[in-house]
Amino acid sequence: MARTCGIRIGPRRFEIVVLDGNPKKHRIAAYKTGELPAGDDDSFAAAAAVLGAAAKELKIPLDATSIAVDTGLAAFRSLKLPFSDREKIEEVIKFEVESQLPQWDIGEVVIDFIVQDQVDKETNLLVTAVPKEDLKHLLDLCSKAGIEPLEADLEATAMVNAALGADICHVDDAQVLLHIGESSTSVVVVDGGKVRSMRAIHVGAFVAPAEEKSGEKPEAAAPTEGAAPAAKEELVAPIDDPEAEQRRLINVVSRIKRELGRTISGARTVNTIGAIYVCGYELPELVGSTLMDMPVYELDVFDEDGGQPASGAATLVVAYGVALRQLGGPSLATSLRREELRFTGTLERVELPLAIAMLLLATLAGMFCMFEVMQLKGRQRDVKAWRASSENFLVGDPAKGHAGNLSQPHTDLDNYLKKYQYHEDRQDGDPERTDYEQMQYEQTLLGREIKKLESQLGTSGEILQPQSALLASTLVLGVFEEAKEKLGRFSIRILDASYVQGTSGRPDSVKVLLDLSFFGETAVEATIAYDQLEPALRAKPWVTDIEKRGSKEFDEKAPAKGVFIQQFTILCDLTKVPKT
């Protein structure tokens, strides 16, 4: 047994209906109504949580769920096209209706249509336009709630689908269908079982009419058929005072009747309109009354004992119509999630410029590749000439009396060069390597020979020479020369340097011993100059350690003032000397 779900999502409330069965015989398996949080920054997440909790509670079928959105979001237009092929209609409709929607960019709305009449090759269409931003907001809300709707319809079309399924609309009569939402009222005129007009009155069960907010009672202007959506009016909560709330609802009914009367007066139907059917939120003094001598009934689309609630079933009609369509019942075959119209008009407008741009880009790429190939061939010729020149430099041309610079004639390199040397009658060289790879291989062979010679001569670096005491002494004296302005007057009495072989994992080093004297007006001044020596030495990367000695003041009988230091020790690692 098939199981489907329909959800109506309004500005403030939602209704969910789950159906079991088939298009002809089915019943409501579960339903739920509730309020959606609004008015603060976290309302979106809170509304998604409420909707997700309701869906989880009813265990809705996620693979057969659709939604209905507020009709007040849409604009309606009438359009006549000189052909009847549906595929052709879908190709041109967005361009044809664009001039009738000056308030929107055609790429910012989703376009859908209902076929009203087809006479010969002419087709009369009722076109609907819904902003993508508003539709995306509702789809994102469902997605955050864990629901992925298969289809999205307007409240008006879902209401018509419910009425068609209940066999209320016949070929020999006409009706007006009315759905009262929170902020808007959907009005559909059905004649002979076909939709003749559709509009939204921007006043609903939770909107305070203009006369109530301003204290005046201006006459509302009747919007034209399919006019652009008016500015959204502020939604109000039910008033605690029953009498005041009753007056507010009566004012809402009065305005709806006034707008409904204008719609009926301007409707062009073949059959006489026999009745008005109302669903959605219940308003006082509406159902059971008459308007222009036409009775107003509640739109009852449910079978007897079909699982609907005993009271308040009118609020479930739209959600029921959505679920019935998913079940395979009669429908207007509309969709706000049609892939071919989801990005209406945007791509088609740039197809020709894109094609020209791509053609120019392909031409530019071809020319670029052509020049690159020519440059590549030139570089290949250069590399080949470079290889030939290198080989001639190494082995020369003995036949012509040109000696080469390769001193060892019986090496692997010499054999390789003689085998694959470049000749005018044989220009390929080594067939397994490119010209550049041949030069790299020749460099490798040459490097091997150099290492063999270095190993024979003992200069390969495997046997390390002791570190030079002379070099260490020179480097230390260089520090004294660099820092002489900071050190003032000084003298080096003794300098001794010795090589220290590394032990226990310690590297080799050179120990430099100094006996120093620093002069000054006073012993304190000489000591300050001595203190500048250690930082100057430690700034050098090759100084690994300093054994600083205490200073002693000159004898009082000495002709000069100052201090002297004995056995000032500096350890140097000459492997850390920067190479120049």
Lowest-pLDDT range of 250-259, 333-342, 426-435: 333-342
Q: What percent of the chain has pLDDT over 90?
A: 57
- Dihedral (Cα; 456, 457, 463, 464), 10-degree rounding: -160
- Residue 344: is its pLDDT beyond 70? no
pLDDT (average), residues 158-172: 93
**In 24-139, beta strands by DSSP E:** 26-35, 65-69, 75-81, 109-119, 122-131
Give the C-alpha separation, 409 to 412, whole Å. Answer: 9
Residue 340 near residue 25 (C-beta atoms within 8 A): no
- Residue 424: is its pLDDT beyond 70? no
Q: Please, which residues have CB within 8 angstroms of residue 161's CB and are 6 or more apart in sequence?
A: 153, 321, 322, 324, 325, 329, 330, 331, 332
197-212 tens-digit pLDDT? 999 999 999 887 555 4
Burial zone of 2 (CB within 10 Å; 0-12 exposed, 13-18 middle, 19+ buried): middle
Domains identified in the chain and CATH numbers: 74-137+150-315+327-344 (no CATH), 351-457 (no CATH), 469-576 (3.30.2000)
pLDDT, position 425? 57
Q: Please, which residues have CB within 8 angstroms of residue 83's CB and are 6 or more apart in sequence?
A: 89, 121, 122, 123
438-447 tens-digit pLDDT? 888 888 888 8
Per-residue pLDDT band for 230 (boundaries 50, 70, 90) equals very low
Give the C-alpha separation, 438 to 443, whole Å. Answer: 9
Half-sphere exposure at residue 514, Cβ-oriented, CA atoms within 13 angstroms = 28
Q: Please, which residues have CB within 8 angstroms of residue 522's CB and are 6 or more apart in sequence?
A: 561
pLDDT, position 557? 82
For residue 155, CA distances in Å to 124, 159, 184, 351 come to: 22, 6, 10, 35
What is the average pLDDT score of the chain?
86
Q: Please, which residues have CB within 8 angstroms of residue 227's CB and are 6 or more apart in sequence?
A: 75, 199
Terminal CA-CA length for the chain:
89
116-142 tens-digit pLDDT? 888 888 899 999 999 999 999 999 999
- Reference 58, options 84, 96, 20, 99; nearest CA is 20
What's the CA angle centered on 407, arms 403 and 409, to 5 degrees?
85
pLDDT (average), residues 104-125: 89
pLDDT, position 350? 73
Helix or strand run (H / E) with residue 278: strand 273-280
pLDDT, position 342? 40
pLDDT (average), residues 88-96: 88
427: which DSSP letter?
-
Largest CA distance in the chain: 140
Can you say whether the dihedral through the CA atoms of 361, 366, 371, 375 is positive or negative?
Answer: positive
- Residue 514: is its pLDDT beyond 80? yes
The amino acid occupying position 169 is C
Alpha helices in 178-316 (DSSP H): 210-214, 242-266
Q: How many CB atoms lie within 10 A of CB 350?
A: 11
Lowest-pLDDT range of 113-127, 253-267, 390-404, 561-575: 390-404
- For the chain, state the CA radius of gyration: 48
Lowest-pLDDT range of 107-111, 211-215, 465-469, 555-559: 211-215
pLDDT, position 231? 47
Residue 156 near residue 188 (C-beta atoms within 8 A): yes
Burial zone of 178 (CB within 10 Å; 0-12 exposed, 13-18 middle, 19+ buried): buried
350 vs 175: which has the higher pLDDT? 175
pTM, entire model:
0.59
241-290 tens-digit pLDDT? 888 888 889 999 999 999 999 999 988 899 999 999 999 999 998 999 99
pLDDT, position 348? 56
